[in-house]
Amino acid sequence: MELKFDVNEYLPLRDVVFQTLRQAIITGEIPPGERLMEIPLAKKLGVSRTPVREAIRMLELEGLVVMIPRRGAEVARITEKDLRDALEVRCALEELAVVLACQRITKEGKEKLKAVCIAFREAISTKHVPSIVNGDIAFHDAIFEATENQRLITLTHNLWEQVYRYRVEYVKDFSYHDVLVSEHDAITNAILMGDAEQARSVMRTHIYNQEAIVINNVHSQIP
């Protein structure tokens, strides 16, 4: 585990440790079920145990860490309930976004959507999970930008980090990549043609295919 620790003179040390561990958890660098032991983490980050302990408490409040009797802190496992809750919200927002995008997308927006769709296909060819995840985010961001609804964009960005762990899980399934590319292509084509019903239908399938993939991939981790 290589943790990227960037000291920020404007933040308390516990907040820097918190952000470092939080990023490692949501990206899967620290996997679900792994114990967070204060002394090893403090040594790795070059800090005392106090900011590590405080950061772990903050992560517990966010639901990213759970305290297990006689074991201590460990990264919260992905549960089927958490997954379904998050994807229900995401699906509603994504369906609204593609409908609005069909109505409001500009010429520049169309060019950007086509560009990020191509970039995603190229990222898939690398088999590099972080690049694929970032490409997926860029694709969906372009759709939300096309809605020209800043409140919707803000709501979605607040949700992104909560579903990041799930994104990593389904992207890791290379057998799904061809389907993922074809779904992005279909969504793009529907928006470019202004076909709101088709865009909504494909987006719904896209989101719930991801749910099935994640549940299958982490089934052993679901309580």
Q: Which pLDDT does position 9 carry in this prediction?
A: 53
What does the domain layout of the chain look like in residue ranges? 13-75, 80-221
Q: Taking 80 as the threshold, does the pLDDT of residue 50 lie above it?
A: yes
For range 15-19, the mean pLDDT? 92
Q: Taking 50 as the threshold, does the pLDDT of residue 161 lie above it?
A: yes
This prediction has a pTM of 0.79
Confidence band, pLDDT 50/70/90 cuts, at residue 222: very low
CA distance 38 to 70: 15
More confident: 1 or 144:
144
Q: Which pLDDT does position 31 carry in this prediction?
A: 87
Report which of 27, 191, 171 is spatially closest to residue 116, judged by C-alpha positions: 191
Q: Which pLDDT does position 220 carry in this prediction?
A: 53
For range 69-87, the mean pLDDT? 87
Q: Taking 90 as the threshold, does the pLDDT of residue 159 lie above it?
A: no
User: Cβ(86)–Cβ(166) under 8 Å?
Assistant: yes
Axis-axis angle for helices 80-104, 150-171 (nearest 10) = 130
Q: Taking 80 as the threshold, does the pLDDT of residue 141 lie above it?
A: yes
| Domains 13-75 and 80-221 alike in fold | no
Confidence band, pLDDT 50/70/90 cuts, at residue 4: low
What b/e string do you get for 35-67 counting C-beta neighbours within 10 Å, with b at 16 or more? ebbbeebbeebebeeebbbbbbebbeeeebbee
- Counting beta carbons within 10 angstroms of the beta carbon of residue 106, is it exposed (0 to 12), middle (13 to 18) or buried (19 or more)? exposed
- The CATH H-level (homologous superfamily) assignment of domain 80-221 is GntR ligand-binding domain-like (1.20.120.530)
| Fold classified for 13-75 | Arc Repressor Mutant, subunit A (1.10.10)
Q: Taking 90 as the threshold, does the pLDDT of residue 117 lie above it?
A: yes
